[in-house]
Amino acid sequence: MKKSFSATMIIIGTVIGSGFASGKEVAVFFSRFGLISYFFIVLSFFLFFGIIYFFLSFGSKAVLRLQSSKLFSFLCVLISLIFTSSMFAGVVNVLPSNVTVKVFVIFILILTCVVVIKKGAKSLASINNFLIPITIVCMLVVLLSNVEFASQVKIHQNGYAGLFFCFLYVVLNFSSSSVVISKLGENLTKKQKACVSFVSSFVLSAFLVLTNLVLLNHPESLNADMPLVFVASGSLAVLIKLVIFSGCITTLFSLVWTTKLALERFGLKMRQIVVLAVVLPLAVSLFGFGSIVSFLYPFASIIGVGLLFCVFFLPKEVKFY
């Protein structure tokens, strides 16, 4: 039970990052297609379940193949760089405007990232087991306080293009977390893998539905950098910022560990890994949260599709260097 709970919290923690918690990912990949987006969210549940279970069950061999190729490792680093920069940008967005506070928090995050790089899965489990349940409760409070059931948005004329974006969205989340999930599966039974896959998929899909409900009733929020912050007011605005902050750091720590595993393929020293896994994405985050999610996330998704296909489905005889 403890293993299943911990694995579920880590998987949810890798997905509920800045883009998910702020509503920006939902706006980009679902809500902008109108009412038909609910169908795509239901589809995403089945995709979530299938991919999570697949990674938990068969991911270990794929990880070995992933780590054996410098090309695959480079693509992993590139994807993680984009997502990690988004997490840093999300943290900066929700922090008070005081420069001293921002510098202090970022400094603490950098130190914690270094600890995660050194300690790995054990540190991830400790952080996520504490933060994710709190994050889930807080996000539920924010969403349920803003939910209305009479949508103001009609089906977009290109709504069926959302089918493509639905697949991209799922790949977006699991191209970066596939290594983490695969490692988790090494310590779970078949029954535990099915349970973890179902609960993780259900929680994530439920939040997609609730967030979509809120955004479709506030269409003016769809173009905002952080739609749920735009919608929320008063104490709820503070609460959603705390949710985004928590989501950012849990995903951030998973990403830097994933990047570290990929960079080990190049024989880099710890100091070099820290620079590439932490300092470089911090610099990229200066491009801004909205720009990274709107433009770089779809780009990372396309790379992720190709990477996952090569790792999991191409014959072993096909070699990549």
How many CB atoms are located within 10 Å of the residue 186 CB? 11
User: Quick check: helix, strand or coil at residue 151?
Assistant: coil
Domain containing 303: what range? 2-313
Residue 32 forms part of a structural domain: yes
Tell me whether residue 319 is in a domain.
no
Count of domains observed in the chain: 1
318 domain-assigned = no
pLDDT digits (tens, 9 = 90+) for 170-218: 877 776 677 778 878 888 889 999 999 999 999 999 999 999 999 988 8
* 22 falls within a domain: yes
Residue indicated by tokens 């349920």: 144
Kindly report the CATH number assigned to the domain that includes residue 98: 1.20.1740.10
Rounded Cα gap, residues 105 and 186, in angstroms: 34
Task: State pLDDT tens for residues 10-69.
Answer: 888 888 876 788 888 899 889 888 888 999 999 999 999 998 998 888 776 666 666 667
How confident is the model over 114-171, as pLDDT tens digits? 988 887 767 777 777 888 888 888 888 888 888 776 555 555 556 678 888 888 888 7
Whether residue 320 lies inside any domain: the answer is no
Burial environment of residue 8 by CB neighbours within 10 A (0 to 12, 13 to 18, 19 or more)? buried
